[in-house]
Structure 1
Amino acid sequence: MMKNFLSLFILVFLSTTAIFAQNKKEVLMTINGDPVYSNEFERVYKKNLDLVQDESQKDIDGYLQLFIDYKLKIAEAQAQNLDEASVYKSEFNKYRDQLSRNYLFEDKVTEELAKEAYERSKFEIDASHILIRVDYESVPQDTLAAYNKMKSIRERALKGEDFGELAKTFSEEPGAKERAGALGYFTVFNMVYPFESEAYNTKPGEISNIVRTSFGYHLIKVNDRREKLPKIVVSHIMISDKKGARTFNPEERINELYTMLKQGESFESLAKQFSDDKNSAVKGGKLKPFTKGDLRAPEFEDAAYKLKNIGDISKPVKTDFGWHIIRLDEKLPMETFEEQRLALEKKVSEGDRSKLVTTATNNKIKEKYGFKKGTSFIPFFDTYVTDEVLKRKWQMEPIPANEDKTLFTIGDKKVVYSDFANFIDTRQKTTRLYRQKEALLVALYDEFETEQLKDYFKDRLKDDNEDYAAVLTEYRDGLLIFDVMNKNIWQKAKEDTLAVQEYYAKTKDNYKWKQRVDADIYSATSKIYAQQIQTMLDKGKTSEEIKIALNTVDKVNVIITPGVFEIDQSELPNNLEIKKGTSAVYPSNDSFVVVFIKDILSPGYKTLDEVKGKVLSNYQNDLEKSWMESLRKKYTVQVDKKALKHVKKELK
Structure 2
Amino acid sequence: MIYRTLSALLAFVFVAFPGSHVTLASAQDQGEILLTIGGKAVQKDELVYLISKGKGTETAIPGLSREEFEENFELFVNYKLKVREAESLGLDQSEEFQNEFGSFKETLIAPFLIKNSLEEGELRKTYSRMQEIVRASHILFQFPPNASNEDSLIVLKMALKVKNEIENGGDINTLAVQYSDDPSAKTNRGDLGYFTSLQMVQPFEDAAFGLQIGKVSDPVLTNFGYHIIQVKDRKPNPGQVRVSHILVRFDPQVPAQEDNARRKISDIYSEIQKESTVWEDIVKTFSEDPGTKENGGLLPWFGIGAMIPEFEMAAFSLNEIGEISPPLKTQYGYHILRLEGKKQLESFEELEESIRSRILRDSRSSMIQSQVVAVQKARYGFKENEENLSKFSQALNETPKSSFGAVLESSNFLSTELFTLQGKKFNGSDLWRFMQEDEYIPRGNGGTFDVWYERFVSQVLSKTEEQDLEANNKEYGMLLKEYRDGILLFSLMNQEVWQKGISDSLGQVEFYRKNITNYQWKNRVEASIVRVIDQTKLESARKALQNSGFNPTVFQNFESNFKANSPLAFTTESGTFEYQDHQVLSKVDLNLPYQELVVDGSTFLVNLGQKIPAGPRKFEESRGLVIRDYQEYLENTLTQKLKGKYPIQVNNTVKEEAFVALNQ
CA distance in 2, matches of 1:72, 1:472: 19
CA contact (8 A) 2:408 2:414 kept: no
Q: Which letter does structure 1 place at the counterpart of 2:509?
A: Q
Whether contact under 8 Å (2:532, 2:538) holds in the other structure is yes
* 2:477 alignment partner in structure 1: 469
How far does residue 439 in structure 1 lie from its aligned partner after superposition? Answer: 7.7
Selected match of 2:347 from 328, 337, 343: 337
Separation in 2, partners of 1:88, 1:634: 24
1 CA distance for matches of 2:488 and 2:603?
55
- State the partner residue of 1:501: 509
Kindly indicate whether the alpha-carbon contact (under 8 Å) linking 1:28 and 1:640 is maintained by their aligned counterparts in 2: yes
- Letter of the aligned partner of 1:476 in structure 2? R
1:581·1:596 contact (CA, 8 Å) conserved in 2?
yes
TM-score of the superposed pair, with normalisation by structure 2? 0.52
Matching of residues 56-205 of structure 1 within 5 Å? 58-104=67-113, 105-110=115-120, 112-113=122-123
Greater CA drift, 91-100 or 469-478: 91-100
* Aligned counterparts of 2:360 and 2:516: Cα–Cα separation in 1: 52
* Code of the aligned partner of 2:76: F
Pick closer, same or farther for the CA change 1:637–1:540 going to 2, 3 Å.
Answer: closer
CA distance in 1, matches of 2:361, 2:595: 64
Matching of residues 365-376 of structure 1 within 5 Å = 365-374=376-385, 375=389
Match of 2:532 among 512, 524, 532: 524
Q: 2:54 aligns with which of 48, 51, 54?
A: 48
Q: For residues 254-311 of structure 1, what are the alpha-carbon distances to aligned partners after superposition, in whole Å with 9 as ceiling and x for unaligned? A: xxxxxxxxxxxxxxxxxxxxxxxxxxxxxxxxxxxxxxxxxxxxxxxxxxxxxxxxxx
Cα distance in 1, alignment partners of residues 356 and 618 from structure 2 = 49
Bigger Rg, which one = 2
The aligned runs of 1:115-514 (5 Å cut-off) are 337-340=347-350, 357-374=368-385, 375=389, 386-387=401-402, 403-428=414-439, 431=440, 445-514=453-522
1:32 match: 38
The 1:631/1:495 distance shift into structure 2, 3 A limit, reads same
Contact 2:523 2:580 in 1 (8 A): no
**1:500–1:550 Cα change, 3 Å:** closer
Q: Note closer, same or farther for the CA distance 1:545–1:75 as it changes in structure 2 (3 Å cut).
A: closer
Q: Which string of whole-angstrom CA distances, capped at 9 and with x for unpartnered residues, describes residues 333-383 of structure 1?
A: 999535447766886799898666444433332343343344265555568
Task: Report how far residue 102 of structure 1 moved.
Answer: 0.3
Change in CA separation of 1:350 and 1:102 when aligned onto 2, cut-off 3 Å? farther
Structure 1 residue 584 corresponds to structure 2 residue 592: no
Q: In the TM superposition, what is the alpha-carbon distance from 1:545 to its structure 2 partner?
A: 7.7
Alpha-carbon RMSD across the aligned residues, in angstroms, is 5.3
Does the 8 Å CA contact 1:25/1:37 hold for their aligned counterparts?
A: yes
* Cα contact 2:534–2:569 (8 A) shared by 1: no
Aligned residue identity for 1:93: G
Displacement after TM superposition at 1:620 (Å): 2.3
TM-score, normalised to structure 1, is 0.53
Q: Which blocks of at least 5 consecutive residues in structure 2 are unaligned?
A: 1-24, 58-63, 131-145, 147-182, 188-200, 206-222, 225-239, 244-342
Give the deviation of 1:88 after TM superposition.
1.9
Alpha-carbon distance change, 118 to 21 in structure 1, aligned in 2, over 3 angstroms? closer
1:457 deviates by 1.0
Q: 1:366 to 1:518 in 2, by over 3 A?
A: farther
Query: In the alignment, is residue 615 of structure 1 matched against residue 630 of structure 2?
Result: no
- Secondary structure, in 3 states, of the residue corresponding to 1:585? strand
The residue correspondences of 1:512-591 to structure 2 (distance < 5 A) are 512-525=520-533, 529-530=537-538, 533-539=541-547, 558-564=569-575, 566-567=577-578, 573=584, 575-577=586-588, 579=590, 581-588=593-600, 591=602
Aligned residues: 430
Q: Which has the higher contact order (CA 8 A, sep 6+)?
A: 2
Tell me if the contact between 2:547 and 2:594 (Cα under 8 Å) persists in the aligned partners. Answer: no
Counterpart-to-counterpart distance in 2, 1:561 and 1:489 = 39
Question: What SS is found at the alignment partner of 1:404?
Answer: coil
Q: Deviations over 1:86-136 (max 9, x none)?
A: 32223223222222210223335445458969999xxxxxxxxxxxxxxxx
Q: Deviations over 1:7-47 (max 9, x none)?
A: xxxxxxxxxxxx97665433222233433222322222333
Is contact 1:371–1:411 with CA below 8 Å preserved after alignment? Answer: yes
Is this contact kept in 2: 1:547–1:558, CA < 8 A?
Answer: no
Residues in 1 aligned to 2:621 and 2:557: alpha-carbon distance in whole angstroms = 34
Give me the whole-angstrom Cα distance separating, in 2, the residues matched to 1:76 and 1:648: 27
- How far apart, CA to CA, are the structure 1 residues paired with 2:89 and 2:99? 18
Matched AA of 1:573: V
Q: 1:545 to 1:645 in 2, by over 3 A?
A: closer
The corresponding residue for 1:277 is none
Contact 2:408 2:428 in 1 (8 A): no
- How far residue 481 of structure 1 moved from its aligned partner, in angstroms, is 1.6
- Distance change in 2, residues 1:87/1:646 (3 Å): same
Name 1:127's counterpart in structure 2.
none
Give 2:95's aligned amino acid. Answer: S
Contact 2:413 2:428 (8 Å CA) reproduced:
no
